[in-house]
Every structure is written in C-alpha cells, then in structure tokens.
Amino acid sequence: MKIAIVGGGVSGLAAGCLLAEAGFFVSVYERKNRVGKKLLATGNGRANVSNEDLSAGHWHSESPLPFDPGTYFSAEARREFFDALGIDLVQEDRGKLYPSTLQARTVLNALRRRLFAAGGEEVVETCIDAIEQSKGGFRLVSGDSSFFADKVIVAAGGMAMPQSGSDGKGHGLLKSFGHKKTRTFPGISALLCESPYLKHLNGTKIQGVVTLFRNGEKIASEGGEILLAKDGISGPPVLDLARAVGERKGDYAVAFPMLNHLEQRPEYRNILEGRSYLPLAAKDFLDGILSNKWVHVVLKECSLNGEEPMDQLAWEEREHLLNLLFAFTLPVIGVRGFDYAQVTCGGMALEGFSSDLESKNAPGLYAAGEVLDVDGDCGGYNIHWALASAHRIARAIIKSAQS
C-alpha cells in the first residue's frame, strides 16, 4: 500500500518513519529543496521537542481535542519513540526537553535516517497543488506531474515562518475536501506595544513577572526573562501571552517591574519606601537600583530632573515613582505577525476528523500537526503535538491494514 505524505516537517517525517517501518511504501513530498527547515530553527536551533509536564491545559483549539496528546503520546510512548531514533532527551528550565546534543539537526538527521532505512523516500522540490479522489485512492497533483497513493497524510504545517515552506497551502488542500478552517492568528510571538520609551529601551532585559490585562482586568501572568524591543516586548514569558491577545478583541496592556528578581525580595517595596525618605537626589536613589536606561524613563515619567532630594517629594510623587518601579505599563497594539510567530493558532476544524485524525469527508485522507486547529504552549508542546498526531495516524493506518 502506498502512503503519500504532504510535507516534510516533523509530523510528516515522524509518520513516514513509523509507516515505512510497518512495511508501507512511503513518499514524503516536500515543496522546499530539503525537508525539516522549520525543525532546524526550533528551540533556537536546539529543538525543544517536548516537556516533562504533559498535563492537558497546554494545548488549545476551538473544539475539544480528538485525544489528549499528553496521555496518548505519554512520557513512555515518547521515550520509546526517541529511543528508536537513538536520541536521549535532557531537561532544561520549565521542564523543556531537548536532544542531549542540544542540536535540532540531531532530530532531523535521525528521522530521515529512520525513514530511509525502512525504505521510505523523500521527494523534494515538489509542491502538492491539489489532491483528488481517484480509483479508490488519491491523485496528488504537482505542476504537470501527478502521483497516486492509497492513503494521504496532509502534514503541511500552518502559517508560521512561511519562509520554511508552511504558508497555509495545506489548509487549501483540506478545504477542497469540504473541511472548514477556523480563524487563524499568530501564536507564540512578541507583543507590539506603543510607547515613546521603547526606542530608548531597545535591548533591555528584565528578570520578572509580566502581567497581561484586557480592558483593565488581569488575565494572565508569566515569569522569566522579559526582553524589550523598539516596537514591543518579547522573551519566553511574553510569547505565550500572544494567544490571548489574538483570540479576543479588547484593550490590552502589559505591566512588569523595572527591578530584577523581585521574587527574591518580597520586602523590597518597604525597603525602597524607607530609603526614599533619605535626602538623596532622585537620580542617585534610582542609580543604585536601576540601569541607566530605566533611570531616564523614571525621571521623565515623573517629570523630575533628577536633582530633587527624595525626602522633599510630595507623597503622590513618591507613590507614583515607587509604583512605576514595580509595574511599568505598556499598551499592547497587536502581535508580531506570522513571519515572526512560532505557531499558528487555529487551522482545520477538528470536527471534520475522526479521533484518529482521518477525514470524515474522504476516508483515507488524514491531517497531522500544525495544519489542524491545535496549538501548544511555548515549551515543546507544538512538536509534541506534531509527534503525537503523527503517531496516532500511523497507528490507525497500521491497524486498519491488519484488520
């Protein structure tokens, strides 16, 4: 039986390995000149492939997921899969799992090796433009060429990082079978903010907790390294907030401290308040606790020239200054687009697929990975979903061939 896989990303390659090993003739069609371009960029080139914490709240969709990726592709199933690839995983902060080489290419090489060893093939520089039902199977059209397959897995990714080859074309392939697409928007991305200070603060890092507000109401907060850019804010704790901003319209703002590691200093507000009654010039008071760039921002925001003795400030002025140190607020005007995002929120609606991700409209057609309306949190959850969905489909195809 011939299986065609559209897309040589992590889900396509994983499904390809498993099916080729089970004796199917597998062709992985990839539009780019090589497979796995996005995989190589993941985790800053290190591929954060999964996470120790596989609890259900880490994956999102408009509809209930067809299966729980953490229970189905459990720690044990994951270990078995990576063992078979000859890859050991190591854990870093926040439970993130990486190949022990800390190199994404280790994962890509191992997937390709396993696919070839089992007799599977890659057909690169071949963009699948259309899929049609034909003679009890499917005809895949690419320019003037066409290929026949008994079953097809669309693993063409979403719309994030289109330069890697996934630009939403997979959605079109599935739409042609009557499948619906949910609203798509960029996830795991930087937040665009408006502030006269951002140009000046570009490159500044803060270790702290960032809180997201919608219409003045606190909706999420995350801790870690916050990074300021000239047009907004990013860094690991910020990236996961993008989903909430894209999901619902509203007036958004983020607030974070200018002071590092406040979690280690629970009494710090009292300490600074006490110190603020000393006859110190405001600029000197700030110089001991903030970097230069922040001193400038605080003085400007408080309309001070810096020479004012702290003990002479009015109560309101002192409060305003101290509040600013603990919560600098920026209005959020949007999310950086798909060119910069790590994942697509939304995709092909899950209702159109069985619990084994087989199309309800065209039996024998499957969809894996990011092309579907499933996105995971930052921390390895998207590759985990790509692997879990590929594994699920491969197991279903193997089972159906046996019965």
Ligand X SMILES: Cc1cc2nc3c(=O)[nH]c(=O)nc-3n(C[C@H](O)[C@H](O)[C@H](O)COP(=O)(O)OP(=O)(O)OC[C@H]3O[C@@H](n4cnc5c(N)ncnc54)[C@H](O)[C@@H]3O)c2cc1C
Least distance (Å) between residue 238 CB and ligand X: 15
Burial letters for 304-335: b for 16+ Cβ neighbours within 10 Å, e otherwise?
Answer: bebebebeebeeebbeebeebbbebebebebb
Query: What number of other Cβ atoms are within 10 A of residue 199's Cβ?
Result: 10
Minimum separation from the CB atom of position 348 to ligand X (A) = 11
Q: Quote the CA–CA distance of 309 and 83 in Å, as a whole number.
A: 65
Residue 82 CA to residue 77 CA, distance in Å, equals 9
Q: Which of 90, 97, 57 is nearest to 377 (CA)?
A: 57
Q: Which of 3, 4, 5, 10 binds ligand X (CB under 6 A)?
A: 10
**Angle (deg, nearest 10), helices 104-117 and 10-21:** 30
| Contact predicate 22/391, CB 8 Å | no
Piece of the chain touching ligand X by CB under 6 A; list 5-13, 196-204, 207-215, 300-308: 5-13
Compute the least distance from the CB of residue 21 to ligand X, in Å: 18
Residues 98-137 that bind ligand X (CB under 6 A): 127-128
Nearer to ligand X, 38 or 318 (CB): 38
Smallest distance, ligand X to C-beta of residue 209, A: 22
Site for ligand X, residues 153 to 182, rule: CB under 6 A: 155-157, 160-161, 164-166, 169-170
46 vs 214, which CB is nearer to ligand X? 46
From CA 373, how far away is CA 333, in angstroms rounded? 25
**Two tokens at 372?**
């579907």
Return the number of the residue (313 or 368) whose C-beta is nearest ligand X: 368
Residue 40 makes contact with ligand X by CB under 6 A: no
- Can you tell me the distance from the alpha carbon of 210 to that of 207, in angstroms, rounded to the nearest whole number? 9
3-state class (DSSP) for residue 227: strand
Residues from 366 through 395 that contact ligand X (CB under 6 A): 369-370, 380-383, 386
Stretch that binds ligand X, among 30-38, 52-60, 322-330, 353-361 (CB under 6 A): 30-38
Q: Token pair of 9, please?
A: 């990303």
Smaller CB separation from ligand X, 128 or 332:
128
Q: How far is the CB of 203 from ligand X (least distance, A)?
A: 20
Q: Which of 24, 29, 185, 197 binds ligand X (CB under 6 A)?
A: 29
Compute the least distance from the CB of residue 83 to ligand X, in Å. 19
First to last CA, the chain: 14
Query: 111 or 198, CB closer to ligand X?
Result: 111
276 alpha-carbon distance from chain centroid: 42
Chain positions contacting ligand X, by CB under 6 A: 6-12, 29-32, 37-39, 41-43, 47-48, 127-128, 155-157, 160-161, 164-166, 169-170, 342-343, 369-370, 380-383, 386
